[in-house]
């Protein structure tokens, strides 16, 4: 992972709002609120570029869609989900969405340095209980899987709570 610079939460929200048409709607609204929770929990944000190895190592929270448990309650790394998606009927909405996203231009994903620990967001509870520490998905689940399948790298991400050395300078 290449750390570019520290950024303010206002910058994170602006990028999210620019790339997501209506932050108050459905899953977009949910993700927008996750960013606020992450900001409250971690308090710092960095813009980074993710390598393929970084993408494969991102922890994804549970994901059930249209009767398919793509990711169980315990969560899975992107690398594990990439293998699992190959076994899912390709007519299902999740594999179709992943395939569609693999052909689109790269967009920003939002992560945290550890799972969210907040009672209103139980998707992360099991990860918190097992004391997982590592890049954890906040927004961009299907995109991360799509890019891992297509060997993408240098994906832009904003990460809450990243610990970096004093050599990183930027706006904050």
* 118-160 confidence digits (pLDDT tens): 999 999 999 999 999 999 999 989 999 999 988 888 899 999 9
CA torsion 18-28-118-61 (nearest 10°) is: -110
Residue 10, pLDDT above cutoff 90: yes
Q: What is the pLDDT of residue 156?
A: 94
Residue 170, pLDDT above cutoff 80: no
Residue 166, pLDDT above cutoff 80: no
Residue 22, pLDDT above cutoff 90: no
Question: What is the CB-side half-sphere exposure of residue 52 using CA atoms within 13 A?
Answer: 9
Closest CA to 38 of 139, 169, 126, 131: 139
Sketch the domain layout of the chain as residue ranges: 2-160
Helices vs. strands in the chain: H and E counts, helices first: 7, 9
Q: For the whole model, what pTM was predicted?
A: 0.90
- Do 85 and 149 meet the contact criterion of CB atoms below 8 Å apart? yes
Residue 58, pLDDT above cutoff 90: yes
- Do 118 and 41 meet the contact criterion of CB atoms below 8 Å apart? yes
Mean pLDDT of 52-79: 92
Phi, psi of 79 (to 5 degrees): -55, -40
Helices (H), the chain: 9-19, 26-42, 52-56, 78-85, 93-102, 125-129, 141-149
Percentage of residues of the chain with pLDDT beyond 70: 92
- 23 CB-contact burial (10 Å; exposed 0-12 / middle 13-18 / buried 19+): middle
Give DSSP secondary structure letters for 61-73. Answer: --EEETTEEEE-T
The region of weakest confidence among 2-11, 40-49, 95-104 is 95-104
Q: What is the pLDDT of residue 20?
A: 83
């Amino acid at each position: 992972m290449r750390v570019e610079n520290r950024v303010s939460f206002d910058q994170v929200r602006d990028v999210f709002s620019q790339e997501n048409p209506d932050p108050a709607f459905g899953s977009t609204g949910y993700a927008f609120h996750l960013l606020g929770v992450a900001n409250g929990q971690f308090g710092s944000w960095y813009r980074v570029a993710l390598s393929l190895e970084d993408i494969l190592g991102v922890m994804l929270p549970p994901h059930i869609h249209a009767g398919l448990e793509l990711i169980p309650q315990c969560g899975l790394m992107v690398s594990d989900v990439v293998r699992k998606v190959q076994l899912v009927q390709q007519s299902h909405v999740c594999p179709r969405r992943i395939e569609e996203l693999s052909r689109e231009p790269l967009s920003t994903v939002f992560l945290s340095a550890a799972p969210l620990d907040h009672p209103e967001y139980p998707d992360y509870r099991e990860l918190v209980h097992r004391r997982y520490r590592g890049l954890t998905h906040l927004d961009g689940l299907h995109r991360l899987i799509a890019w891992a399948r297509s060997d993408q790298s240098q994906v832009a991400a904003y990460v809450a709570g990243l610990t970096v050395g004093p050599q990183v300078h930027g706006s904050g």
